[in-house]
């Protein structure tokens, strides 16, 4: 197949495609020029991440297309049902980035309970003149050990995060549409394993009992003022799933009033131009949608996409 990786592909993915006998076009084509490029070059497989949008106009206008691939989990930038109705294969890599997203959530957790996100802003500005004052300002951190982490959405990422959290001594609960409690297996560096039962609570129970809440669902409007009011005073919340899952104005109000003490966002309502009030808030630990952006995850994503394309080309799926 002739494959266009419009948002890039890892070296491992490129090598895998070429080894399997497929032609890779690793270029970046502007959105408004994509139809012309695909038709001119006879592109059969279009690979994207989150930047390129694959809507009905591309699907209708590009007769050579057979496969649309998303490097990652969410496919909200692709008209999936429409493409499949037209006979196209739509693929993604739901497992490849789970560990990377989970580790980013833990990084935000560790950073925000010690106020590192704000300390790293202020130290370069005032560290030489207000050292003692800053030390006092950021001296009220807490430990994660013994705290309760509530995970909303217990898919691959939620489970990966649970394994990390129990490893540092946190109690983990979750809410998910799956039935009953779930058992996770934590594998340690020397091959030893330990099993932990994670209770499946109602949303209300989880919000009321958790010190920190981490969201891992495909999308929707989940957390606003009503849900925040259910949470513990001084609790924290993390969103590394989809922008808009948390109502940002309600979140800012809760942080400024002291209802919530901690928040971390990797995704935003208005990507790629997040609201200035969110970006300037000293209460929010921020990252620019980098949950899956590790070298290891990108290698896994590239190789998995290559293998799926090859299976489609051979008629195995």
Cis, peptide link before residue 206, omega less than 30° from 0: no
- Dihedral sign, CA of 170, 175, 180, 182? negative
pTM, to two decimals: 0.91
Which has more pLDDT, 317 or 200? 200
- Give CATH superfamily name and number for 98-286: NAD(P)-binding Rossmann-like Domain (3.40.50.720)
Determine which one of 49, 108, 289, 300 is catalytic: 289
Instruction: In whole angstroms, give the CA distance from residue 257 to residue 299.
Output: 43
Q: What pLDDT shows up at residue 4? A: 98
* Chain centre distance of CA 20: 30
Token pair of 269, please? Answer: 């309502």
Average pLDDT (57-67) is 98
Q: What pLDDT shows up at residue 316? A: 93
Q: CATH topology for 2-96+295-313?
A: Rossmann fold (3.40.50)
Q: pLDDT for 93-114, tens place per residue?
A: 988 999 999 999 999 999 999 9
10 Å CB burial of residue 233 (0-12, 13-18, 19+) is exposed
**pLDDT confidence band for 73 (50 / 70 / 90):** confident
Token pair of 63, please? Answer: 């007769």
* Chain centre distance of CA 301: 14
Q: What pLDDT shows up at residue 53? A: 97
Contact criterion met (CB below 8 Å) for 26 and 8: yes
Contact criterion met (CB below 8 Å) for 100 and 292: yes
Q: Is the pLDDT of residue 117 over 90?
A: yes
Average pLDDT (274-292) is 97
Which has more pLDDT, 51 or 105? 105
Instruction: In whole angstroms, give the CA distance from residue 20 to residue 258.
Output: 56
Any catalytic annotation for residue 242? yes
Q: What pLDDT shows up at residue 74? A: 83
**pLDDT confidence band for 122 (50 / 70 / 90):** very high
Per DSSP, the three-state class of 200 is strand
Q: pLDDT for 2-42, tens place per residue?
A: 999 999 999 999 999 999 999 999 899 999 999 999 999 99
Determine which one of 242, 248, 261, 304 is catalytic: 242
Q: What pLDDT shows up at residue 57? A: 97
Average pLDDT (169-189) is 96
* Chain centre distance of CA 237: 14
Token pair of 155, please? Answer: 């898919």
Any catalytic annotation for residue 289? yes
Where are the CATH 3.40.50.720 domain residues in the chain?
2-96+295-313, 98-286
Average pLDDT (129-138) is 97
Q: Is the pLDDT of residue 305 over 90?
A: yes
Q: Is the pLDDT of residue 198 over 90?
A: yes
Q: What pLDDT shows up at residue 179? A: 86
Average pLDDT, the chain: 96
Q: Is the pLDDT of residue 287 over 90?
A: yes
Which has more pLDDT, 218 or 300? 300
Instruction: In whole angstroms, give the CA distance from residue 164 to residue 289.
Output: 20
Q: What pLDDT shows up at residue 187? A: 95
Q: Is the pLDDT of residue 50 over 90?
A: no
């Amino acid at each position: 197949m002739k494959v266009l990786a419009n948002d890039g592909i890892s070296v491992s993915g490129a090598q895998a495609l070429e080894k399997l006998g497929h032609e890779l076009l690793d270029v970046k084509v502007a959105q408004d020029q994509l139809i012309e490029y695909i038709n001119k070059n006879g592109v059969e497989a279009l690979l994207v991440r989150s930047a390129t949008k694959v809507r009905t106009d591309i699907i209708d206008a590009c007769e050579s297309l057979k496969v649309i691939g998303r490097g990652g989990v969410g496919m909200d930038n692709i008209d999936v049902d429409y493409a499949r109705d037209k006979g196209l294969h739509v693929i993604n890599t739901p497992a490849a980035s789970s560990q990377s997203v989970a580790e980013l959530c833990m990084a935000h957790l560790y950073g925000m309970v010690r106020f590192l996100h704000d300390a790293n802003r202020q130290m370069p500005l005032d560290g030489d003149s207000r050292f003692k004052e800053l030390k006092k300002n950021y001296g009220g951190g807490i430990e994660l050990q013994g705290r309760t982490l509530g995970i909303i959405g217990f898919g691959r990422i939620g489970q990966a995060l649970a394994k990390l959290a129990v490893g540092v001594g946190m109690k983990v609960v979750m809410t998910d549409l799956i039935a009953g409690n779930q058992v996770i297996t934590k594998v340690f560096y020397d091959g030893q394993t330990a099993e932990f039962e994670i209770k499946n609570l109602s949303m209300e129970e989880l919000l009321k009992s958790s010190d920190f809440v981490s969201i891992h669902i495909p999308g929707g409007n989940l957390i606003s003022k009503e849900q925040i009011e259910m949470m513990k005073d001084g609790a924290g919340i993390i969103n590394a799933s989809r922008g808009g899952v948390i109502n940002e104005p309600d979140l800012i109000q809760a942080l400024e009033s002291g209802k919530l003490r901690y928040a971390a966002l990797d995704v935003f309502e208005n990507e790629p131009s997040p609201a200035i009030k969110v970006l300037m808030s000293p209460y929010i630990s921020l990252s620019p949608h980098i949950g899956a952006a590790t070298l290891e995850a990108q290698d896994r994503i590239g190789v998995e996409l290559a293998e799926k394309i090859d299976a489609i080309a051979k008629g195995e799926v």
